[in-house]
Amino acid sequence: MPTKKKPQVTPTPERRRELLATAAEVFAAQGYNATTVRRIADEAGMLAGSLYYHFDSKESMIDEILSTFLDELWQGYDAVLAAGLGPRETIEALVTESFREIDRHRPAVAIYQKESKYLATQPRFAYLADSQAKFEKVWLSTLERGVAEGTFRDDLDIRLTYRFVRDTVWVAASWYRPGGHHSPEEIARQYLSMVLDGIALRT
Amino acid sequence: MPTKKKPQVTPTPERRRELLATAAEVFAAQGYNATTVRRIADEAGMLAGSLYYHFDSKESMIDEILSTFLDELWQGYDAVLAAGLGPRETIEALVTESFREIDRHRPAVAIYQKESKYLATQPRFAYLADSQAKFEKVWLSTLERGVAEGTFRDDLDIRLTYRFVRDTVWVAASWYRPGGHHSPEEIARQYLSMVLDGIALRT
DNA sequence: TAACCTACCAAACACTTGTTAGGGAACGGC
DNA sequence: GCCGTTCCCTAACAAGTGTTTGGTAGGTTA
């Protein structure tokens, strides 16, 4: 035998992230409840019990996946909001930032989409509801600012508009595949073009 | 004891639909895998085993829920397509019809959204993939017709546009509540206005 | 060499899951 | 009254679930 099979020297936090990445991939593909810890361990090349050396429960895995994602998301959003742009530019920046997050955390976003409503009922995941409330506040106020300034139409139900914009952005995580034909920025550009100007030809 | 507790004379097919309705409600709220048959039975006021007098498995319940919904959906879609309208009018009619289906089958639509990708892998639910393929064909060809006719913009990725329109319509099932402020037709009108003309004010 | 730590395995645990088999109450037709 | 049907209950089953416990190979440190 020339060499060892594996380096076996990956430090602790590195290994944690690897395992969380594979867990997120399986959660996103199968759904949280439909995913067994044995399946995750299988995908990671180990046995089910061994996962409990790194994590103390299956729930704590999805918890860490989601909270890590949300932390990074809000870091990006807060940076955009701190720039003090106009309503339209803020929306454009938020959407672009969102697609970048989808590009970076696709499984996490997909999990968030599918499971957050169910998880948010548990006290442990109260931060999901908090995040959603903050989310709504930011987008709604930006839209209202735009309506007041005459940037956005005033003949639409503002809450309907909010859900429209929010959903069109985030459902993209269900079909988006990194390394596809379009970069996140290109997708954001086209999405913004559709949302802002519509798909009908202007005459 | 003055009277009997229950009428107890509901005919068979009626009772089936009642049970399927409550099952659909729970499936939509909790997710299919997270829902136990005991929970469904609880909600229906009976014990788990009793469900198996009406259905032969949990899987056959969601099967019947989804296939019933899809049958009715395509009945509506086919009627629209048979009318032979122009591209823009076809899109408008399809979207309006979709919101009517969401109004009538909200739980079924929510289940379809969340579980279809996972279920479609099983042979029993092959019709889900079939339906999705037909769906894509109808919408894509209509959009392409509109681009060719000069009704829709030609500077957008057509598949991106398709997913955009499709998603914006169907995710509404996740927040829509029958009996709210807006009728399905009113929501369809505003959605179409946003999709076709955008949310930015025209100058 | 010895003690120690990291990262995993092997095997089991308690519990929940979907599902089944047998029984029985209410009711209508005869 | 009797029979059959409808609809549900009681009680259990086997399989699968997340999790725990004790052990151990291999590397690092002393």
d(CA A149, CA A138): 17
B14 touches strand C (CB under 7 A): no
Nucleic strand D within 7 A of Cβ A122 = no
* Cross-chain residue pair B201–A157, CB shorter than 8 Å: no
In the numeric block, the tokens 């595949």 are attached to: A177
Helix (H) or strand (E) holding B50: none
Residue nearest to nucleotide D26 (CA to C1'): A8
**pLDDT at residue number B131:** 96
Q: Give the nearest partner residue to B190 out of A160, A190, A198, using CB atoms.
A: A160
pLDDT of residue A174: 87
Chain A residue with Cα closest to B193: A198
pLDDT value of residue A199: 87
Nearest CB to A201: which of B151, B161, B164? B151
What is the rounded distance in angstroms from the CA atom of residue B28 to the CA atom of residue B180?
19
Q: Kindly determine whether the C-beta of residue B46 is less than 7 Å away from any atom of nucleic acid strand D.
A: yes
Q: Nearest nucleotide, C1' to the C-alpha of B44?
A: D8
SS3 annotation, B58-104: HHHHHHHHHHHHHHHHHHHHHHHHHCCCCHHHHHHHHHHHHHHHHHH
C-alpha distance from B108 to closest chain A C-alpha (Å): 15
Q: What pLDDT score does B11 carry?
A: 58
Q: What is the structure's pLDDT at A168?
A: 87
CB contact under 8 A, A191 and B157: no
Nucleotide of closest approach to B34 (CA, C1'): C17
Q: Could you report the average pLDDT of every consecutive run of 10 residues in chain A (203 residues)?
A: 37 85 95 95 93 95 97 97 96 96 96 93 94 96 96 94 92 87 93 93 81
Domains (ranges, CATH) in chain B? 58-197 (1.10.357.10)
> Chain D bases under 7 Å from protein CB?
6-12, 16-22, 26-28
Test mutation, B91, B199, B201, B203, chain A, max A CBs within 10 A: B199
Long-range contacts (CB closer than 8 Å, 24 or more residues apart) made by A134-139: A134/A74, A135/A166, A136/A162, A138/A77, A138/A81, A138/A94, A139/A94, A139/A165, A139/A166
CA B200 to CA A197: how far, in whole Å?
6
B4 CB neighbours strand C below 7 A: yes
Show which of residues 94-153 on chain B sit within 8 Å of chain A, judged by CB atoms: 114-115, 117-118, 150-153
Answer whether B160's CB lies under 8 Å from B102's CB.
no
Q: Mean pLDDT for chain B?
A: 91
> Residues of A with CB below 8 A from B202's CB?
202
Q: For the segment B122-179, what is each residue's pLDDT rounded down to a tens digit? A: 999 999 999 999 999 999 999 999 999 999 999 999 999 999 999 889 999 988 988 8
